[in-house]
Amino acid sequence: MFGTRIAYLPVLAGWAASAAAQAGWPRDQVNTTMCAWEQVRAAVVRDTVYLDGGQIFWLAGMADGSYGTPESDDNPLGIIFTLNFSQPFNTNQNITAIMGQLSKAPAGGAANNAAPNYLDGAMLANDGEFFLYGGMRRNTAAFAPPHPDDVLAYQAYQYGIQKDSFRPGFVTNRLPPEMTRYLAYGGAASAPSENKAWYFSGMHSPSWGEIFLPSNNQSLTASNVSNTFITLDMSTQQQEKWTNVTLPPSVAARANPELVWVPVGGQGLLVSLGGVVFPEFTTASHKSPNEVVSEELSPAFMTNIDVYDVAGDDWYQQPTTGGPGQLTRGCAVVAPAQDGSSFNIYYYGGYDGLHIKADFSDEVWVLSLPSFTWTKVSAGKASHGRAGHKCFMPYPDQMIVIGGYAPQPGAAQACVEGGIVQVFNISSATWMNGYDPAKWSNYTVPDAVLRAIGGSPTGGATATSPSPSFAASALARVFSSPYPATKIKKYYPYPVASTTNNTNPDFTPTPQSSGGGGLPKYLPPLLGVIFGLMFLTLLATGAFLYRRRKLLQRGGGSVTEFGTDDSNGNRIMNWIRGQPYDNKAPTVTTTDDTPTSPEMESSSSPPVLYHPAMVQVTHEMADTQLAELPGMFLSPIPLFPFPLLLLPTTVTNTIPKRHIPPRRAARHRPNASGHNKPALPARLAERPVQLLLHRTNRPRQHRLPLLLWQRRAVPAGRTSLPGPRTPLSSRVA
């Protein structure tokens, strides 16, 4: 039982990852492809393969047809690649063009300590989810490491009790107290029909502390074999249980064995194949700490097979006949005969774990159970060999190989020959040049295996026990008990997905190169989005600054020959600033107070502004004294050295209707000389006036001239402005 720490949704990261990749491309690079993929951890969930971690080497294709040096970027965005079994492909095309991508990082950003890239480890899965356990990361101080008991899970589908709030996504969980994630180089197997998965043996650091990629610091390197056997029970979603037990003394610990689940007995059997002790890949120098002992002990892992009965919780050992010798970092799948008389485990590739410069295996071997007989069904060729890859069965008669790396005879990383993905027909024991989900058949036992175990292609094996016999009678009884096949769900056949439109040329640089070349399909859209957003941001910023400048220049409103007009934007700005704003919208053409008598009508002529010497006391209503609103004055208006133009506009008096005075406005015209430059009064009539200005000119409304500045030179012969009685020039809109 363990608790949930963090949950977040995945982000499809095809174009997020591509931006980082293509941004660093040289000018003449036109495509990129996977060249090698060392120690990827992977699993099948229903119809999709999920591939995480490992060390991917990318090969750059140049415009002149040449290719760069393979380089690894350590997957900074934490991308999980996916391959759906509905997708047809050719092995010589750029496989990255048909792979989906899923980011482990929150919001699709940098993975950092949330989901750093791990080499090795395991992906443990059922038909609804998978867990990422163990492995080694790069030693860096750029970010804090994950907690020792952190384990990341991806919930793809819900199962069990209905969860209305369920959404596919990643969940960071906590391991039980007796477990940590500091383990690598083990063997992993999953049994979706049992909702269980296992991690067998492996290696840890001398202190059981954090482990990193191999270095000269042995205290931080997974250099000690582990006698652990971990089980993950996923029977109840969101209440998964981890257990960790110690292997019995009869079961030797080892590095990178293959662990497969075989549908035999009440809950199936686990069979361990291969693995080594004292491997070279645990050291930075790629030298085995004890090559002699490794060559003495490691071959037995292929000739004396460890078998675990899940239902009985018992370990058995059974000797075999023949075998491929010392191998590690291969891959294995299980193909039952149609009648269940034999269970054939296909083991492909790998190497001895000691000599990284020597040829890797390209052979396909079959271990037939219950006879425990080895048969080589495909010899392959040395140049096509690989190690550190994974195998899957989309259909009963086909095996897909993904990933792997080639021998390293020199300092440069070599690419795997034929491409990063290969397809093998396990019925005919031949390699295929592609995969088509519309073409498949039921499994038939290959001729080479039939010669060893007897029977027909559909079953009927005559060798039903090892030679000379089972080492333990209890194991014989397990094989005599069939597994309830109805528990195994089938998701094939798969509908054929439309072929990806890959416009890039096939990638075939050299005989040892990887698949087809081509620009990943998600690169151009992302770059377009990025630059488009940058342009729109600059455009919006410029428009905002221009608008703000115009608003600041206008103040309360813009001045036109038709009066004062204020836009919606200015009204909103004044409202935000908390300033009063009494103007009506430009579309309003009448006042709120409609005159109901002739005495309340307004004149079409503007009122006259007088010099203070000519001010006459005029009350708002007859016999109303100045004391109506005492002590309120308008601010003094200074004299200006240039003339003013008067523009009438509609005015509404805010005094209630019953106080509106009779008409008393007049219209002024320029004098004969056309030079009306009167001095403004030092102070307007000391009487409170509250007015609302409107741009429209309608009858039955008060009018007041609007002053417009018009800069003119003082006519020759004048040294001052006209006298106070000279009327101001005015014009009516």
What pLDDT shows up at residue 613? 43
Residue 268 has pLDDT above 60, yes or no: yes
* SS3 readout for 294-328: HHHHCCHHHHEEEEEECCCCEEEEEECECCCCCCE
What is the pLDDT confidence band of residue 350, given thresholds at 50, 70 and 90? very high
Cβ neighbours of residue 544 under 8 Å, at least 6 residues apart? Answer: none
| Six-digit token string for 483 | 């597994």
Residue 619 has pLDDT above 70, yes or no: no
Residue 581 has pLDDT above 50, yes or no: no
Express as a percent the part of the chain with pLDDT over 70. Answer: 68
Residue 602 has pLDDT above 90, yes or no: no
What pLDDT shows up at residue 521? 52
Q: What is the mean pLDDT of residues 218-224?
A: 95
Residues 202, 602: Cα–Cα separation, whole Å: 100
DSSP assignment of 354-410 equals S-TTSPPP--EEEEEETTTEEEEEE---GGG--EEEEEE-SSTTEEEEEEEE---SS
The partner residues of 730 in beta bridges, in order of sequence, read 646
Out of 129-143, 224-238, 278-292, 700-714, pick the least confident: 700-714
| Structure confidence by residue, pLDDT tens digits, 503-554 | 333 333 333 333 333 445 556 667 777 888 888 888 888 888 888 777 777 6
What pLDDT shows up at residue 143? 87
Residues 221, 584: Cα–Cα separation, whole Å: 78
CA 732 to chain centre: 66
Q: What is the mean pLDDT of residues 661-683?
A: 45
What is the pLDDT confidence band of residue 498, given thresholds at 50, 70 and 90? confident
The partner residues of 171 in beta bridges, in order of sequence, read 7, 153
Residue 329 has pLDDT above 90, yes or no: yes
What pLDDT shows up at residue 373? 98
Exposure string for 711-733, b = 16+ CB within 10 A, e = fewer = eeeeeeeeeebbeeebbbbbbbe
Q: What is the mean pLDDT of residues 638-667?
A: 44
| Structure confidence by residue, pLDDT tens digits, 146-170 | 999 999 999 999 999 999 989 999 9
Residue 171 has pLDDT above 70, yes or no: yes
Q: What is the mean pLDDT of residues 373-393?
A: 98
Cβ neighbours of residue 633 under 8 Å, at least 6 residues apart? Answer: 683, 686
Out of 2-6, 115-119, 238-242, pick the least confident: 2-6
What pLDDT shows up at residue 522? 55
Alpha-carbon Rg for the chain, nearest whole angstrom, is 43
DSSP assignment of 180-194 equals -S--BS-EEEEEGGG
What is the residue-averaged pLDDT of the chain? Answer: 79
Helices within 401-484 (DSSP H only): 447-453, 473-479
Residues 661, 250: Cα–Cα separation, whole Å: 116
Express as a percent the part of the chain with pLDDT over 90. Answer: 58
What pLDDT shows up at residue 15? 39
What pLDDT shows up at residue 538? 86
259 close to 200: Cβ distance less than 8 angstroms: yes
Q: Of 11, 24, 36, 35, whose CA–CA distance to 100 is shortest?
A: 11
What pLDDT shows up at residue 137? 95
> What φ, ψ does residue 448 adopt, rounded to 5°?
-60, -35
Residue 721 has pLDDT above 80, yes or no: no
What pLDDT shows up at residue 549? 79
Residue 320 has pLDDT above 90, yes or no: yes
| Structure confidence by residue, pLDDT tens digits, 79-135 | 999 999 999 999 999 898 899 999 998 877 788 888 899 999 999 999 999 999 999
Greater model confidence, 730 or 435: 435
Q: What is the mean pLDDT of residues 561-570?
A: 46
Greater model confidence, 185 or 714: 185
Residue 356 has pLDDT above 60, yes or no: yes
For residue 130, give the 3-state DSSP assignment.
Answer: strand
Out of 59-68, 443-452, 667-676, pick the least confident: 667-676
DSSP assignment of 39-100 equals T-EEEEETTEEEEE-SEEEEEEEETTS-B---B----TT-EEEEEETT--EETTS-GGGT-E
The partner residues of 315 in beta bridges, in order of sequence, read 308
Residue 368 has pLDDT above 60, yes or no: yes
| Six-digit token string for 348 | 């492909």
